[in-house]
Structure 1
């Protein structure tokens, strides 16, 4: 399946305000909600992947 066409619907009603206020940056306010969600997801996934990499490296050094 083409990744560009893969979409999903999620209910963000309980998270909308938290997402909108996640950053003090004025440019953040200019982004659409979907772009904000995408940015936050990507950043969190990168953190998780980095932690996994660090954890694997730490186990290799033990």
Structure 2
């Protein structure tokens, strides 16, 4: 079983009123796309692809 996970952290100051959830999820999807390009093995790719699917589902629910 794959126990890897993707974690997200914001660089710089963040205020909850500055960005809405849709913007945050969209940024996370973009970040995962970059990570996917940098993945060095199949396990990493699978983990990141799964995260992208979950984020896209969340994004679709916010629109």
TM-score over 0.5 for the pair: no
Structure showing the higher helix proportion among its residues: 1
The TM-score, its normalising length taken from structure 1, stands at: 0.38
TM-score normalised per structure 2: 0.37
Structure possessing the higher relative contact order (Cα contacts under 8 Å, 6 or more residues apart)? 2
